[in-house]
Amino acid sequence: MKRQAIKELQRWKASPRRKPLIVSGARQVGKTWLMKEFGNTCFERFAYVTFDDNPQLVAAFEGSLSPQRLLPILQAEAGVRIDGNTLLILDEIQESPRAIQSLKYFNEQMPHLPVVAGGSALGLALRRGKRAQEEGKPRPSFPVGKVSFLDLYPLNFSEFLGGIGEELLVELVETLDWEAIAPFHDRLIELLKQYLFVGGMPEAVLAFAETADPADVRRVHNELLRSYNADFSKYADDALAERIRRVWRAIPANLAKENRKFMFSKIRESARAREYEDALQWLIDTSLAIPSSCVSLPLSPLASHEDGDVFKIYLLDVGLLGAMNNLGARTILDSEALFNSFKGSLAEQLVAQEMLANGLAGDSAEPDSKLHYFVNPSTRTEIDFIIDGGTEAVRPIPIEVKSGVNLKAKSLAAFVKKYQPPLAMRTSLASPSQDGAIRDVPLYAFGTYFRQRIAGR
């Protein structure tokens, strides 16, 4: 299984200004595999240690954080000699705030040593530290400016194709040569239907690649959902864990609405934001939930025009969204039923994932909102996504998602007429085309087009 993030890691290795790198993301998206694969393919050796269920290693970081003191301990733990040709992997680093702090000293005192740290709930660890400071307790400082970040997401559609043996189709789509791709349009739609069911969680993709049995895939989904549910109680007290479960269950219901704005009343009729905002933040901090903030003015930077009280919430993976909605395997055979399920929310979830996995994420310590959508304050018409200008535009780029081949999009046409962006995107099951500023890109090629032409990667 190939991950595009390997290229990001290779660029990090070659950088003359390399700092320790934190690979962040939800549990089970493949962080450990990625770091070990990087060590295997790009270094003479790697030294792997994990702080998960390892109190002795956590305790070792309570003393001096000098790399000279820590290296013998890490060598003994990993059973590997550590030098400049060794990739040092510190996994589940969120379990030790002191280990996070130590990255500063590795950067300052041993810049030649390549250090990669994996974190499944880094945002949660940072907020715990902030609360400790507010309560007057010692709080290890975060190594601001001393580390780099790489956010890892579930496999995107291109990675899914590679994972099930369709590497040649991946190479074809990468060309963005629409004439060459056209004969394979229907085949790519069929594969996209499979992806909407399977999703991008590595274990689910592996199960599908091995057996092609949707039932096996759904069993993996259900096991993952149970493990996340267990995490709620592992990392939160009983009262908070119950609120987290309620918010978690409400996300699919909110996405299935015509207006996908997250409403706490979907948790229960009398629910109020102040009761559940800490639970929602917990899910965002652990990368299980992905926020999309509403902006009322389509001007860069979009973050300065956010309405903090209006937002959507997506799940980390489209396959898990289908599982939580009890989407049956038979829908793979029916394009209309699949793409129109839950009022087209699967297609919108897909586009959200593709943007994040193909370069929208920034170099940020906390999983704050990177996605935005636009609502015209006067007409209340909505644009599904809007992003700050990329390589083809300096003004925000609107993106409209259609779940079928009907390309009527009054809100997008009105946006283009009023704000005149140099580029507007519409993605659907239709073939590619161009209509003035509006560029139509098939859903199966959206991630590739976004990565190459918008994110510039």
Domain at 5-151: CATH code? 3.40.50.300
For the chain, state the CA radius of gyration. 22
Residue type, 447: G
For residue 34, give the H/E element and its range.
Answer: helix 31-42
Token readout for 321 is: 């969204």
- Domain edges within the chain: 5-151, 157-454
Residues in contact with 135: Cβ distance below 8 Å, sequence separation at least 6, in sequence order: none
344: phi > 0 → left, psi -120 to 50 → alpha, else beta; which? left
Q: Which strand ranges, in their side-by-side order, compose the sheet holding 385-387? A: 385-387, 397-401, 424-428, 438-442, 433-435
pLDDT at 342: 67
Alpha helix positions (H), 165-317:
167-175, 178-181, 185-198, 202-211, 214-235, 238-255, 273-285
Residue by residue, what is the 3-state secondary structure of 352-396? HHHHHHHHHCCCCCCCCCCEEEEECCCCCCEECEEECCCCCCCCC
Q: Please identify every stretch of the chain with a pLDDT value under 70, giving residue numbers as ranges.
A: 123, 125-140, 332-338, 340-343, 361-369, 390-394
Structure tokens at 332: 């793979």
Looking at residue 319, its pLDDT comes to: 96
pLDDT at res. 280: 96
Residues paired with 374 in a beta bridge: 295, 383
Return the DSSP state at 429: S
pTM of the entire structure?
Answer: 0.92
Q: Model confidence over 59-79: pLDDT tens digits? A: 999 999 999 999 999 999 999
Q: What is the pLDDT of residues 314-357, one digit of tens each?
A: 999 999 999 999 988 777 666 666 676 666 899 999 999 999 99
Q: Annotate 48-80 with DSSP letters as a single string.
A: EEE-TT-HHHHHHTTS---HHHHHHHHHHHHTS
- The tokens for 316 are 């980390």
- Listed in sequence order, the residues at least 6 apart from 94 whose beta carbon sits closer than 8 Å to its beta carbon are 51, 100, 119, 120, 121, 122, 124, 125
